[in-house]
């Protein structure tokens, strides 16, 4: 098994973390788009229901001059029926949009888990690098102390 230098692994982890972050942001935007679509459809349903209620209130209003009652009543009933069908179609679209929203939220949760896993692995490598650097600094300090001690001992042992 080939071993890579620590700085190469850290760069690779940084790249993977950045890619996971980008995916997470994309999934967040997709979820927000799905939520917005659901809100638009819900607004459309409310507007259609309101319009249908208004048309029902005016169902028995007298028709305009020259329009017979039966045809005016049939036309108004057909319009109310059409508004009901449009509201039902909008409910079906809302159901599909909510299903897409659930799928998008699931994908967002998976992307969030992947991001935090990648970030944790990157942090672990950086911690390992910091520990290694600390050990190297401690070794250098001990070498320097030994060299200083050797110089001091050589100075005191040298004939004066």
Q: What is the mean pLDDT of residues 122-144?
A: 92
DSSP letters for the chain: -----HHHHHHHHHHHHHHHHHHHHHHHHHHHHHHHHHHHHHHHHHHHHHHHHHHHHTTTSPPPTT--HHHHHHHHHHHHHHHHHHHHHHHHHHHHHHHHHHHHHHHHHHHHHHHHHHHHHHHHHHHHHHHHHHHHHHHHHHHHHHHHHHHHHHHHHS--
The answer to whether position 147 is within a domain reads no
Q: Number of structural domains, the chain?
A: 1
Whether the Cβ atoms of residue 39 and residue 98 lie closer than 8 Å to each other: no
Give me the pLDDT at residue 7, please: 85
> How far, in Å, CA of 4 to CA of 22, rounded?
26
Domain that holds residue 98: 6-119
Q: Is 21 inside any structural domain?
A: yes
Number of other CB atoms surrounding residue 83 within 10 Å? 20
Average pLDDT, the chain: 92
In a domain? residue 37: yes
pLDDT value at 107 more than 90: yes
CATH number of the domain at 73, please.
1.10.287.1700
Domain for residue 158, yes or no?
Answer: no
- Lowest model confidence (mean pLDDT) among 52-61, 78-87, 112-121: 52-61
Residue range 18-77, pLDDT digits in tens? 999 999 999 999 999 999 999 999 999 999 999 999 999 988 888 888 888 888 889 999
The two tokens of residue 31 are 């979820």
Q: Of residues 39 and 156, which shows the higher confidence score?
A: 39
Task: Decide if 137 is inside a domain.
Answer: no
pLDDT at 60: 82
In a domain, 144, yes or no: no
Q: Which two tokens stand for residue 135?
A: 């050990």
Q: Is residue 155 part of a domain?
A: no
Residue 100 lies in a domain: yes
């Amino acid at each position: 098994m080939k071993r890579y230098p620590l700085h190469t692994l850290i760069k690779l982890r940084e790249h993977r973390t950045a890619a996971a972050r980008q995916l997470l942001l994309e999934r967040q935007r997709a979820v927000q788009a799905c939520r917005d679509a659901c809100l638009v459809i819900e607004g459309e349903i409310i507007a259609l229901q309101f319009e249908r209620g208004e048309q029902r209130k005016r169902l028995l209003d007298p028709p305009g001059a020259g329009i017979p009652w039966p045809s005016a009543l049939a036309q108004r009933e057909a319009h109310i029926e059409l508004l009901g069908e449009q509201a039902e179609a909008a409910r079906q679209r809302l159901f599909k949009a909510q299903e897409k929203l659930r799928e998008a939220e699931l994908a967002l949760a998976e992307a969030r888990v992947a991001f935090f896993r990648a970030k944790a692995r990157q942090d672990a490598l950086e911690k390992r690098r910091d520990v290694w650097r600390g050990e190297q600094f401690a070794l250098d300090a001990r070498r320097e102390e030994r060299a200083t001690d050797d110089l001091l001992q050589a100075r005191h042992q040298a004939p004066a």
